[in-house]
């Protein structure tokens, strides 16, 4: 009997502008983002890799791929969350990021958990 398992990975993003590390005169705007990944499925999963697409307001696109996040490949049991903070540097005061996490369930099934687009914005730039 085949049992289809749903992989429900929830991703929550919080962003902030880091003015003390930014140098607007040099077109360098530093942002932090904190991500909370929650495994809402019935099977434990491990985050293997990340893929980011980072776009600034000049439509410059940069892709970032790598193993894990912040040097870790977290294993999440059902209901468990993992939270981390990282950063991005843009040439403009506004941009966006989106991507995916490559995951593997303990049953060996590999899948991608999409990360919906989110905005990076210096305060009071946008209404």
Q: Is residue 2 part of a domain?
A: no
Domain that holds residue 65: 9-120
32-89 residue pLDDT tens:
999 999 999 999 999 999 999 999 999 999 999 999 999 999 999 999 999 999 999 9
Q: Is residue 1 part of a domain?
A: no
Q: Is residue 4 part of a domain?
A: no
Average pLDDT value for residue range 17-26 = 96
What does the pLDDT read at residue 127?
A: 52
Strands 94-105 and 75-76: unpaired
Task: Using pLDDT thresholds of 50, 70 and 90, give the confidence band for residue 126.
Answer: low
Task: Using pLDDT thresholds of 50, 70 and 90, give the confidence band for residue 7.
Answer: confident
Look at the chain and report how many structural domains it folds into: 1
């Amino acid at each position: 009997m085949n049992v289809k398992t749903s992989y429900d990975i929830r991703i929550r993003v919080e962003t902030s502008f880091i003015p003390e590390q930014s140098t607007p005169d040099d077109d360098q705007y530093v942002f932090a983002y904190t991500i909370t990944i929650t495994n809402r499925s019935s099977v434990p999963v491990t985050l293997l890799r990340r893929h980011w697409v980072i776009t600034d307001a000049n439509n410059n696109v940069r892709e970032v791929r790598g193993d894990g996040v912040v040097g870790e490949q977290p294993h999440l049991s059902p209901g468990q969350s993992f939270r981390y903070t990282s950063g991005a540097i843009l040439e403009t005061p506004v941009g966006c990021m989106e991507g995916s996490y490559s995951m593997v369930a303990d049953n060996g099934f590999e899948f991608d958990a999409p990360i919906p687009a989110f905005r990076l914005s210096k305060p009071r730039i946008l209404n």
